[in-house]
Structure formats: C-alpha cells, structure tokens
Homo-oligomer: A and B are copies of this chain.
Amino acid sequence: MKEFNENAYENIRKPVIKGRAEALSLKSPPPKGDVLLELKAFRDFLRDRGYRVTKEREAIAETILRNRDHFDVDELFLSLRTKTPISKASIYRAIPLLIESGVLAEVYLENGHMHYERVYGREHHSHLRCVKCHSILEFSAPELTTIEKRITKQEGFKSEGHKFEIWGLCAACQAEKN
C-alpha cells in the first residue's frame, strides 16, 4: 500500500470546505457525456490514491455522472436505491473522494443541507438562485477569473478557487401575483 494512503479516512473525512477539485487522473476531461471514460478516470483516481474500487463507489459515481447536474444527498440516495442497495453512510463517505477527484463540488446550502453539482467535464460557471422557487440558472462571467487573479496576487494568496452567486427573484416568480 502506498504510504500516503495511511489513514486514508482520517485524511479524507475532514469537513470538506468548499474547494475546487484538484483532479488527478481526471486532469484532461473527455468530451462531455462520455460516462464510461469518466468512470474509468474515477477508478484510476481511486487506484492512484490507494483507495479501493468498490461497486458502491462505482454506482455512486455513475449515478452522478449520468444524472441531473444539481442534487442533494437524499436525491442521490433515492436515485441509487432504485438500482442497487446502498447506505447513506457510504454516500457520505464517498463524497469527499468525489470532490477530491473532481467529479463533484459543493454548491450551496439550502434548507439545512448541502447541495452538490457534477463538475467533471463541465465549464466553470456561476449561479443565479431564485429565492422563491429555488430554481438555478447558470452563467459564465470570465471577468471573475481576472478579479480572482488580481486580488490573490495583491494579497499574496494562493488561490484554489472562487465562487460567485447572485440571488433574487427569477422572471417567472416576479410575474406571479403572490
């Protein structure tokens, strides 16, 4: 076993503070939607790190890679359950690995629990959140990276990522009377 993998759980289970994934084997994303390739990359990531490739981890990764971009643990759990028996504990334990591998990212907290999004093979983007209907609109704003660079240089900071979020009322909700 590789030495850096001693106490793998110890290292991996620390609370995940929002962090842009530092993909390892996942460094060169395949064309979007190539789930098989993406899954292989995730397996390679596990092996590289000395983690075991289990059917649970594969099922979790595959479900995420095939499904909708935004979700929470419960949705993922229910979605997995229709296909294979799995416990929530395994999902919670897999999430840090998925984040570390660059498959997932935490996006925001709502109603007391975290929401995630699949990031592997997708462009970096920001979110517009409707505070009424909870819908999410995505957008890109390249200037954000420029700002990130300027500020971090100025402060001697080594950046690992940024997040920009706008909240308010979407067009549909403004139109409603109530």
Contact = CB atoms under 8 A, between A and B. Distances in A.
Nearest to A149: B166
Given A18-B167, A137-B157, A162-B165, A128 B111 contact: no
Contacts of A112: 15
Residue of A130, A159, A166 with highest tally of chain B CB at under 10 A: A166
A178 interface: no
Nearest to A154: B139
A17 interface: yes
A171 interface: yes
A151 B163 contact: no
B109 A128 contact: no
Given A141-B147, A143-B147, A166-B148, A171 B156 contact: yes
Interface string A1-41: 00000000000000101110000000000000000000000
A158 interface: yes
A170 interface: yes
A166 B141 contact: no
B161 A162 contact: no
Contact of A161 (B158, B159, B168): B168
Given A15-B112, A161-B168, 17 more contacts: A109-B109, A128-B151, A128-B155, A128-B157, A137-B157, A139-B151, A147-B164, A151-B166, A155-B171, A156-B170, A157-B169, A159-B166, A160-B167, A160-B168, A162-B164, A162-B167, A163-B163
